[in-house]
């Protein structure tokens, strides 16, 4: 048996009821025309007006949804445009249900939610994190009932209530009921497109958002004081079927949904090629949140960033000095030559190299690579926890970053109450052909500095491409 649209099933249900308020031939003719409507396009316009200023909702208040449903191709497609109470565009979403799979363009929605979550800060681009605007592919999300299932809705009402409150006027049929006939599930059904962002957000487990369709609105006032109205119209000249659904809570809320249906000759819709699974989306969103956390850390720390750093050469430079010696380190499956102190205590672990003398120490390690500034900032400001040290007279230099944000350097000078005056220099470079960055931490004990130590640091800076002498001079002035 082929499926029929929900409006057809509804009118079959009400055929006997219409006879009480109109001529027997009128609804029968209406039903014959509607029975042929198996493949159709639709336009739905929904609006929620919050009448009570004390009610706060983050749900969109207006939408236009256009799409098609086809029994022949077994596909449902919809595109929704959301706006706020001031008519400002919020985001658009597209959906395709085909062969048991649901495809949802979630990036615009996530951008909207992230903009709200991180306000007043500017959220990073979600589209850039996903390398475009992929569709979430899922078997757990059924969007075929974005258009209210009117059959189920009317079936939830007592038959005598429908019979007593159904009216006809020149081809327009109106059902009016008090709100106590409407259940929480009914309200959830008619308001679903407004709360869809919360439904998808909760499905992905990343957003603590509240849906307008959640339990509560029906109890904002005594339910018997609320009103529900359902109108059906058939424009025979244009051959358009129209439904209008209204729910009103006095002084609190007004919800309206208008839907028009028009028969079409369907064409199969191609499924999106750029898709992500739920697991892939979890991973990408987690990376996105890491990016935003680093951005906020930089903003809130007041860290000054200057893009004046030349390109660095932290690895694979030839050595011609008796103060430094080479050391090979495996990073991301590639061997890189590092420069460490000669005649020092040099040791290595699986992911770090230590070179320690009485004058200074070098620490090489690797970090997962983002941009150089975002990768270095939390390591310096958070992971090292310098604010918790027993020290005073902190002086920081701006973070210098190269033009491509693949290398960065920052220095910190303070009086350590345990070892005296110390200079910390942090250098980072994202390594080519890897997904990691090489971090170099240089710690100088200023009171122990010797001519030989100064020359070793100067030579290391020469090979890397940084004037370490500048930072020594700044520390000496402290």
Percent of the chain clearing pLDDT 90 (strictly above): 36
Query: Do the beta carbons of residue 243 and residue 194 sit within 8 Å?
Result: no
Provide the pLDDT for residue 172: 84
- Please list the residues that pair with 409 across neighbouring strands: 400, 427
Residue 210 CA to residue 295 CA, distance in Å, equals 27
Measure CA 51 to chain center: 30
Query: Do the beta carbons of residue 269 and residue 282 sit within 8 Å?
Result: no
Q: What is the pLDDT along the chain (478 residues), one digit of tens a residue?
A: 333 334 434 444 444 444 444 443 343 344 445 556 788 899 999 998 877 766 666 667 899 999 998 988 889 999 999 998 888 888 899 999 998 899 999 899 889 888 888 888 889 899 999 999 999 998 877 787 888 877 677 778 888 888 888 888 877 888 899 888 888 888 888 888 887 766 775 655 554 443 444 445 666 667 788 899 988 887 877 778 888 999 998 888 889 999 998 988 888 999 999 999 988 988 898 888 888 888 887 887 778 899 999 999 999 988 878 899 999 998 878 889 999 999 999 999 988 999 999 999 999 999 987 789 888 887 777 555 555 555 556 677 889 999 999 999 999 888 776 778 889 999 999 988 778 899 999 999 999 999 999 999 999 999 999 999 999 888 777 5
Interval 321-347: pLDDT, tens: 889 999 999 887 888 999 999 999 999
Interval 450-468: pLDDT, tens: 999 999 999 999 999 999 9
Pairing of strands 275-276, 135-138: parallel
Q: Which stretch of DSSP H or E encloses residue 475?
A: helix 468-477
The long-range contacts involving 203-207, CB below 8 angstroms and separated by at least 24 positions, are 203/138, 203/140, 203/141, 204/106, 204/136, 204/278, 204/281, 204/282, 204/285, 205/282, 206/282, 206/285, 207/113, 207/117
Domains within the chain, CATH numbers bracketed? 6-100+139-270 (no CATH), 305-477 (3.40.1000.10)
User: Residue 142's closest CA among 86, 191, 82, 203?
Assistant: 203
User: Residue 46's closest CA among 261, 254, 263?
Assistant: 254
Interval 250-270: pLDDT, tens: 888 889 999 998 988 888 999
DSSP characters over 171-200? TEEEEEEEGGG--HHHHHHHHGGGGHHHHH
Rg (CA), the chain: 33
- The Cβ-side half-sphere exposure at 198, using a 13 Å CA radius, reads 17
């Amino acid at each position: 048996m082929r499926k029929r649209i929900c409006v057809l099933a509804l009118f079959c249900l009400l055929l006997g009821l219409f006879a009480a308020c109109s001529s027997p031939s009128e609804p029968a003719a209406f039903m014959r025309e509607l029975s042929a409507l198996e493949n159709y396009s639709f336009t739905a316009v929904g609006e929620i007006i919050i009448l009570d200023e004390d009610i706060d909702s983050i749900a969109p208040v207006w939408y236009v949804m256009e799409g098609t449903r086809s029994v022949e191709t077994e596909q449902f497609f919809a595109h929704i445009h959301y706006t706020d109470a001031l008519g400002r565009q919020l985001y658009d979403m597209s959906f395709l249900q085909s062969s048991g799979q649901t495809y949802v363009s979630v990036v615009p929605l996530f951008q909207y939610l992230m903009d709200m979550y991180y306000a007043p800060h500017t959220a990073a681009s979600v589209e850039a994190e996903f390398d475009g605007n992929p569709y979430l592919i899922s078997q757990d999300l059924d969007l075929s009932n974005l258009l209210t299932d009117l059959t189920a809705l009317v079936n939830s009402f007592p038959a005598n209530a429908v019979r007593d409150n159904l009216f006809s006027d020149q081809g327009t049929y109106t059902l009016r009921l008090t709100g106590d006939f409407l259940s929480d599930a009914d309200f959830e059904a008619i308001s679903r497109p407004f709360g869809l962002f919360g439904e998808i957000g909760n499905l992905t487990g990343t957003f603590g958002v509240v849906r307008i369709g959640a339990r509560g609105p029906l109890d904002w006032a005594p339910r018997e004081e609320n009103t529900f109205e359902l109108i059906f119209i058939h424009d025979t000249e244009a051959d358009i079927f129209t439904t209008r659904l209204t729910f009103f809570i006095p002084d609190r809320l007004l919800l309206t949904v208008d839907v028009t249906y028009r028969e079409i000759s369907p064409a199969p819709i191609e499924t999106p090629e750029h898709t992500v699974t739920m697991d892939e989306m979890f991973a990408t969103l987690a990376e996105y949140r890491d990016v935003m956390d680093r951005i906020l850390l930089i903003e809130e720390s007041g860290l000054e960033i200057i893009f004046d750093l030349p390109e660095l050469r932290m690895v694979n430079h030839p050595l011609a000095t008796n103060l430094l010696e080479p050391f090979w380190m495996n990073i991301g499956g590639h061997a890189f030559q590092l420069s460490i102190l000669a005649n020092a205590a040099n040791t290595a672990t699986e992911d770090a190299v230590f070179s320690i003398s009485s004058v200074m120490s070098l620490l090489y390690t690797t970090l997962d690579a983002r941009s150089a500034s975002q990768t270095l900032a939390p390591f310096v400001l958070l992971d090292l926890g310098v604010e918790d040290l027993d020290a005073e007279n902190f002086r920081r230099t701006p973070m210098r970053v190269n033009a491509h944000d693949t290398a960065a350097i920052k220095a910190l000078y303070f009086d350590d109450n345990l070892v005296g005056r110390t200079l910390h220099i942090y250098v980072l470079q994202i390594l080519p052909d890897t997904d990691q960055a090489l971090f170099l931490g240089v710690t100088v004990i200023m009171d122990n500095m010797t001519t030989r130590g100064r020359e070793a640091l100067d030579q290391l800076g020469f090979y890397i491409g940084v004037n370490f002498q500048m930072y020594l001079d700044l520390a000496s002035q402290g």
